[in-house]
Amino acid sequence: MKLAISGKGGTGKSTLAAALSLLMAGKGWRVVAVDADPDGNLAAALGASPEEASRIVPISRQKELVEERTGAKVKQYGQMFKLNPEVSDIAEGYGTRLKGVTLLVLGAIEAGGSGCACPESVLIRALVSDLVLHRKDALVMDMEAGIEHLGRATARGVDTLLVMVEPSQRAIDSAHRVARLGAEIGLRDIRYVANKVSCPDDEHYIRAALAGREIVGVIPWSEEIRSAERHGQPVLHRAGEELVNCFGLILQRLQEPVTAN
């Protein structure tokens, strides 16, 4: 299963990515979780302490790795470098193991301009392509408010784009934008998860705004998740049965065959 999770910042993408990754790992699956959001906190959601999280160096900032694999110096322009660097060993060699999940943090790309083909971006794109298209592990990608790390070639390997929404107009607007971008590059299965739902009116608002779209889960506002975050524990550590069942139902629905609309 290959999942990409996107939506407006603060809607709970990292919470969902961590919960699904931990549930998959609990089933004995080999799981790679990718933090592709420069402002992401997937490590913390998976249970890394602040000290552990601070020791994780994003792939884009690992200068020696970037230069070795691309054959080019970082931040030196006008160079020739490999467009298809070797990346198949990066998950095992440079990932961080947390609660049975292999975490890869991609980090931000400091490029000179939009679309710059710098060595860091070439390595990241090759890595994402390998994880999506060639590895047999389950994959959960926690993405920024867009799908910048995915391209048309990579999109065919993504099983589902999950778009996170909360009961706010900004989140709904962002969800429509993300879905439109996903459809443009050929993502075949786009579904939605409602989060931070505190009352029936919240759920009604989201369902009305996403009329005709498939909502695979509704996650209630949770003090349990906030407590886990504050104590540096995995998102499911303090979750009660009802909340765990919410995440489990989402995973179950994602495993069901897609039906034609």
244, 222, 249: which is closest to 12 by C-alpha? 222
Beta bridge partners of 216: none
Least-confidence region, from 71-80, 94-103, 160-169: 71-80
Torsion sign, CA atoms 188, 115, 120, 72: positive
- Percentages helix, strand, coil for the chain, rounded to the nearest 5? 40, 20, 40
| pLDDT score of 80 | 66
Q: How far apart are CA 35 and CA 240, in angstroms?
A: 26
Q: What are phi and psi of 216, to 5 degrees?
A: -90, -5
From 30, 20, 1, select the one nearest 142 (Cα to Cα): 20
Query: What's residue 124's pLDDT?
Result: 92
d(CA 174, CA 204): 18
- What is the phi-psi region of residue 176: left when phi exceeds 0, alpha when psi lies from -120 to 50, beta otherwise? alpha
Q: What is the mean pLDDT of residues 36-50?
A: 87
Nearest to 145 by CA among 10, 1, 34, 42: 10
Q: Is pLDDT of 117 > 70?
A: no
Which residue's structure tokens are 């549930």? 23
pLDDT at 77: 65
Which tokens hold the place of 19? Answer: 């919960």
Report the percentage of the chain scoring pLDDT > 70.
Answer: 92
35-49, 89-103, 127-141, 183-197: which has the minimum mean pLDDT?
A: 35-49
Which residue in 189, 132, 138, 180 sits closest to 160, CA to CA?
A: 189
Residue 55: CATH number of its domain? 3.40.50.300
260 in a domain, yes or no? no
Q: What's the confidence (pLDDT) of residue 110?
A: 56
d(CA 18, CA 236): 9
Task: Determine, yes or no, domain membership for 45.
Answer: yes
Is 221 inside a domain boundary? yes
The two three-digit tokens of residue 23, written as one number: 């549930």
Does residue 76 fall inside a structural domain?
Answer: yes
Strand order of the sheet with strand 215-220? Answer: 96-98, 101-105, 31-36, 138-143, 2-7, 160-165, 190-197, 215-220
Res. 79 pLDDT band, cuts 50 70 90: low
* Residue 111 confidence (pLDDT) above 60: no
Residue 2 lies in a domain: no
pLDDT class for 114, splitting at 50, 70, 90?
very low
Task: Give percent of the chain with pLDDT exceeding 90.
Answer: 60
pLDDT digits (tens, 9 = 90+) for 4-21: 999 998 888 999 999 999
The SS3 assignment for 112 reads: coil
Domain count, the chain: 1
pLDDT at 112 over 80: no
Tell me, what's the pLDDT at 113?
A: 41
- pLDDT value of position 261: 46
Mean pLDDT of 80-97: 88
Instruction: Find the DSSP H helices in 142-189.
Output: 152-155, 169-184
The answer to whether residue 246 is domain-embedded is yes
The answer to whether residue 250 is domain-embedded is yes
Mean pLDDT, the chain, integer: 88
Is residue 100 over pLDDT 80? yes
Whole-prediction pTM: 0.89
Overall average pLDDT of the 222-230 stretch: 76
Give the domain extent around 184.
7-255
Backbone φ and ψ of 185, nearest 5°: -95, 0
Cβ count near 30 (within 10 Å): 15
